[in-house]
């Protein structure tokens, strides 16, 4: 299975990828992980490529080979659409986070409706307000865990839920464990109640 996690620097994409990788290794699954980073260390595009299974060659997922894209930021999700295979799925956070080009006025951010329309025209889309959920739990830093919960809720992930939760507990500061678990569970629920998912 080929999983693409994508967002901007500071979104927690790399941490989420490493949690998934550790969980897969605990289950004895073959896993290859690759990371690509935009020019800006913070605010640039960050992609984590996870290839689970003994048939995976190389660490970077080729175009048209991704089974699922987990998008932490809408426009970054759209930009990585070419990586998705036919009949793949996208799980997307609906809450935009603008990069420098948009803040500086060098570029105009497309509407969420337009981004969603383009994605739906190509593939199955499930979307949720992951950042909003995270903020309601106390911090936008939980967004990546909300997205991991949504991925788990999709049923696509070949990693046991309990193993993933154990890995999250071991990977986050002790005083945040409870909120991270709540973030994960909220992501599962949000995926299953997504209007896109129900269509």
CA proximity to 120, closest of 151, 156, 79, 89: 89
Tell me the CATH class for 2-198. Answer: alpha beta
**Tens digits of per-residue pLDDT, 159-176?**
999 999 999 999 999 999
Q: What pLDDT is attached to residue 199?
A: 44
**Tens digits of per-residue pLDDT, 75-101?**
999 999 999 999 999 999 999 987 766
Determine the average pLDDT of the residues in 4-17: 95
Taking each continuous run of H as one helix and of E as one strand, the counts in the chain are 9, 6
Which residue did the predictor score with more confidence, 56 or 69? 69
pLDDT for 33 beyond 50? yes
Which percentage of the chain shows pLDDT scores above 90?
82
Strands of 31-37's sheet, edge to edge?
A: 31-37, 45-52, 2-8, 66-71, 84-93, 124-128
Q: Is the pTM of this model over 0.95?
A: no
Label residue 89 left, alpha or beta by phi (over 0 means left) and psi (-120 to 50 means alpha): beta
**Tens digits of per-residue pLDDT, 95-132?**
998 776 666 667 788 999 999 999 999 999 999 999 99
Mean pLDDT of the chain: 92
* Cα 181 to Cα 13: distance, rounded to the nearest angstrom: 17
Q: Can you give the residue ranges of every domain in the chain?
A: 2-198
């Amino acid at each position: 299975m080929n999983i693409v996690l994508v967002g901007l620097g500071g979104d927690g994409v790399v941490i989420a990828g490493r949690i998934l990788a550790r969980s897969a290794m605990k289950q004895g699954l073959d896993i290859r992980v690759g990371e690509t980073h935009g020019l800006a260390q913070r605010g640039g595009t960050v992609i984590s490529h996870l290839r689970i299974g003994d048939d995976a060659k190389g660490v970077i997922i080729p175009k048209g080979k991704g089974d699922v894209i987990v998008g932490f930021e809408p426009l970054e999700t759209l930009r990585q659409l070419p990586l998705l295979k036919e009949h793949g799925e996208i799980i997307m956070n609906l809450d935009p986070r603008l990069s420098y080009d948009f803040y500086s006025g060098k570029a105009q951010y497309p509407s969420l409706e337009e981004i969603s329309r383009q994605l739906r025209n190509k593939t199955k889309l499930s979307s949720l307000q992951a950042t909003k959920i995270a903020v309601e739990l106390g911090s936008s830093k939980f967004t990546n865990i909300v997205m991991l919960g949504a991925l788990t809720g999709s049923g696509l992930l070949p990693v046991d839920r309990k193993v993933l939760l154990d890995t999250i507990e071991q990977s986050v500061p002790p005083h945040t464990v409870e909120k991270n678990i709540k973030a994960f569970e909220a992501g599962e629920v949000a995926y299953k109640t997504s209007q896109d998912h129900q269509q």
